[in-house]
Amino acid sequence: MNFDRNTIIGFVLMMLLLFGYIFYSNKQGLAVQKEKKRLEDSAAQAQASKKKIVDTVQFKKDSAQQEIKNNQQAAAGFAPATTEQITVVENEVMKIGFTNKGGYPKYVELKNFNRYDSTKVTLGGEGHGITYQVVTGVNQSANTSQLNFVPSAVEKKGDDQVIRFKAADSTGKFIEHIFTVKKSDYLINWDIKFSNAAQFLTQGLLNINWDIVAHQQERELKYEKSQSNIAHFENGSYDFSAAGTTGDTKKFGDKTKWIGIKQQFFNTTILAVNNVSSAETKWTVPTEQQDSLKQVLTANTIFRFNLGGVSEATVPLQMYYGPNDYHILKTYENGMSSHVQLGYGIFAFVKYINRWVVMPVFDFFKNHIGSIGIVIMLLTFIIRLIISPLTYTSYLSGAKMRVLRPDIEELKKKYGDDQQAMSMEQMKLFRSAGVNPLAGCIPAVLQIPIFFALYSFFNANLALRGESFLWSHDLSAFDSIAHLPFKIPFYGDHVSLFTITATITSFLISMYNMQTTPTQDNPVMKYMIYFFPIMLLFFFNSLPSALTWYYTVSNLVTLGLQFVIQKFIISDEKIHAKIQENKKKPASKSKWQEKLEQIQNANQQSSQKVKDMQNKAQGKK
């Protein structure tokens, strides 16, 4: 069959139209099916949701009725807890919500502090409970949360507010919780009063059960977890147990004054005015898979008191719901100021550097300057000024070693592989020149405590929280200029610009030192000087931006000091002349140098004897 050009074109167009029609029809059919499926799924989901709502409502209704029934049985002659009622008492700094189910503060809202989501910081709340077991009748007992504590009207006693919660039976037997809220104070006084302790407590034992959930307050939950712990004050000293990754259990003795749940910037603490008989805390830490719960940790603490032989008993307690502010906590004089961990572990002594030097200087500038970033910069200048003698000594020692480098090279050529002889002659050279080879290391070692002091200070300083500076929105947390779509091991999924500036300035210091210091013979040492700045990039990336900003400023000051001291203050020519002058003087030996020289001489003689014996043995052969 013969086809002309028009026939072929028509055939192709028909095929294209056919395929287009089929494609369009299929697409429309799929869309219809998809829409039909969506409607069916929506209907099914709506039906399931409706059923779920009905089931949930019914379940809650059944649970509430069962709870009321249980409370009625347990309460015996006491009024059982039914519908929960919250009584709010406020002062200038907090709002306290007391519950009638057990008569305790169910939550405390801090008026001057916001959470990461801009709502007010609330301590306690969901999961929070303070209860204990009491005898309510013959062979009957109840948890105080099962009893209805009737609140009184709030009484005014000077600047204090007093509210009472009372649970009484028909015979007049009662339990009373008396709370005193002071003006502009985060500490609540709590007195538990029994009309007859023997009738309420089995064998006179009062076991107060404190359940608490520490909810997320800061932007970075993972870092907040790392800064949280279980703290206590026992035998007149403070200690804490790190929250860890799973949790743990800790027991306390009769010298325990208080136990608290410390978060990064807030804590909830119960204090026993007259100490306890014993105590125990169990806590768990949610896993990363449970981070959607936005919980830092959950804890259960039991405080045990022995009230045996006492008729009308009053147990005085105190509760702190508030910030980890060193100045506030210090006023209580009960060790709670240690919640602000300014130094712990092997570097616990640095807390004195923070308390006596860093904190007073920081507070002085903070009271006169509005920008915390500028305060940190000025603090850096002051610290560098204080340690400037150490810095100068270090640079001077380095200059002396640089001047002696040609003499050391000559000794290496002279003694070759004889390390002992080389070491002895090198010590003689240092001694005759009046140079201490350790003088450059000691200042650097002495600066390590200062670094750890500032590390602790910037991690614990409440004044940094929520303060912005340059591109950092919160100096108490890391700054982030970019969020990565993936996570880099040991680095994270964000980019901290202050960490980058700290790393770059550290690199510049390393490069400057390499240019002004003779090349090391050991190739490993040649590159080790760059290893530290690289480590900073990973180590600092998740640390508070206040610390990385401080480190950046400190590095810039170091670069400036190095340039000024080595260019305008320290003269290699003058140092060389001084060393030559010292060489002419009789060198005095310290006892340490004499002892070291004796050891080196003994080693050299021993090595020589071994060589002589080896040579003699070879001669006989």
Query: Which domains does the chain possess?
Result: 86-340 (2.70.98.90), 467-570 (no CATH)
- Inform me whether the pLDDT recorded for 58 exceeds 70: no
User: 3-state class of 542 per DSSP?
Assistant: coil
Phi and psi of 468, rounded to 5°? -100, 155
CA–CA separation, 458 vs 67, rounded Å? 48
pLDDT band for position 229 (cuts 50, 70, 90): very high
What would the two tokens of residue 531 be?
Answer: 């290893």
Return the H-helix or E-strand segment holding 136: strand 133-137
The pLDDT tens digits for 365-380 are 999 998 999 999 999 9
pLDDT at 19: 47
Complete DSSP assignment for 546-609: HHHHHHHHHHHHHHHHHHHIIIII--HHHHHHHHHHHHHSPPP--HHHHHHHHHHHHHHHHHHH
b/e sequence 387-410, b meaning 16+ C-beta within 10 Å:
eeebbebbbbbbbbbbbbeebbee
pLDDT tens for 10-53 read 444 454 554 454 455 445 554 545 555 555 566 666 565 555 55
Q: With pLDDT > 90 as the criterion, what percentage of the chain qualifies?
A: 45
Q: Give the pLDDT band of residue 123 (cuts 50, 70, 90).
A: very high
CA distance 330 to 322: 13
Long-range (24+ apart) CB contacts under 8 A made by 420-425 are: 420/600, 420/603, 420/604, 420/607, 421/604, 423/600, 424/597, 424/600, 424/601, 424/604
Cα–Cα dist 296/313, whole Å = 36
Distance CA 129, CA 103 (A): 10
523: left (phi over 0), alpha (psi -120 to 50) or beta: alpha
Please state which of the ranges 319-328, 421-430, 469-478, 605-614 shows the lowest mean pLDDT: 605-614
Is 150 exposed, middle or buried (CB count within 10 Å of its CB: 0-12, 13-18, 19+)? Answer: middle
Q: Is the pLDDT at 490 greater than 90, yes or no?
A: no
Alpha helices in 83-219, H assignment, sequence order: 197-200
Residue range 308-321: mean pLDDT, rounded: 87
When pLDDT is averaged across residues 119-136 and rounded to a whole number, the result is 93
Mean pLDDT of 148-159: 93
Q: Quick one: pLDDT band at residue 528, thresholds 50, 70, 90?
A: low
φ/ψ bin of 192: left (φ > 0), alpha (ψ from -120 to 50), beta (otherwise): beta
The confidence score (pLDDT) of residue 186 equals 97
Is pLDDT at 238 greater than 80 in this prediction?
A: yes
Q: How far, in Å, are 53, 299, 325, 329 from residue 340 at the CA level? A: 46, 20, 7, 9
**Neighbouring C-beta atoms of residue 352, cutoff 10 Å:** 13
Per-residue pLDDT, 1: 39
Predicted TM-score (pTM) above 0.75: yes
pLDDT at residue 4 in the model? 43
Question: 467 and 475 in contact (C-beta within 8 Å)?
Answer: yes
pLDDT-based confidence at residue 445 (cuts at 50, 70, 90): confident
**C-alpha span between 132 and 143 (Å, rounded):** 6
The pLDDT value recorded for residue 269 is 97
**68-86 confidence digits (pLDDT tens):** 777 777 777 888 888 899 9
Tokens for 207?
A: 């076991």
Q: What is the pLDDT of residue 100?
A: 95
Task: Answer left, alpha or beta for residue 148, where phi above 0 means left and psi between -120 and 50 means alpha.
Answer: beta
Q: What pLDDT was estimated at residue 22? A: 46
pLDDT category of residue 614 using cuts at 50, 70 and 90: low
What is the spatial distance between Cα 274 and Cα 332, in angstroms, rounded to a whole number?
15
Give CA separation, 54 vs 65, 68, 454, in Å: 16, 21, 57
148, β-bridge pairs? 101
Question: Token pair of 110, please?
Answer: 């801090």
Query: What number of residues does the chain have?
Result: 621
Q: What is the mean pLDDT of the chain?
A: 82
Q: Which helix (H) or strand (E) is 430 found in, with range? A: helix 419-433
Cα 78 to Cα 169: distance, rounded to the nearest angstrom: 5
Q: Does the pLDDT value for residue 3 go beyond 60?
A: no
- For residue 6, the model assigns a pLDDT of 47
Q: Which of 22-26, 289-293, 307-311, 324-328 has the lowest mean pLDDT?
A: 22-26
Which range among 114-118, 339-343, 371-375, 398-402 shows the weakest confidence by mean pLDDT?
398-402
Region 173-200: what's the mean pLDDT?
A: 93
Q: Residue 126 carries which DSSP code? A: T
Higher pLDDT, 532 or 469: 469
Q: Which residue has the tokens 């006693």?
A: 157
Q: Does residue 500 register a pLDDT over 50? A: yes
How confident is the model at residue 136, as a pLDDT? Answer: 87
How far, in Å, CA of 372 to CA of 366, rounded?
Answer: 7
Q: Hunting for tokens 């090279």 — which residue is that?
A: 409
Given a cut of 80, whether residue 351 has pLDDT beyond it is: yes
Closest to 84 in 3D by CA, of 57, 103, 60: 103
Interatomic CA distance for residues 129 and 106, integer angstroms: 7
SS3 category, 481: coil
Residue indicated by tokens 């200059």: 399
Higher-confidence residue of 419 and 20: namely: 419
Query: To the nearest 5 percent, what fractions of the chain are helix, strand and coil?
Result: 50, 25, 25
* Amino acid letter, residue 562: Q
What type of residue sits at position 410? E
Cβ atoms of 341 and 353 closer than 8 Å: no
The SS3 assignment for 590 reads coil
Q: Is the pLDDT of residue 563 over 70?
A: yes
The 3-class secondary structure across 393-423, one letter per residue, is HHHHHHHHHHHCHHHHHHHHHHHCCCHHHHH
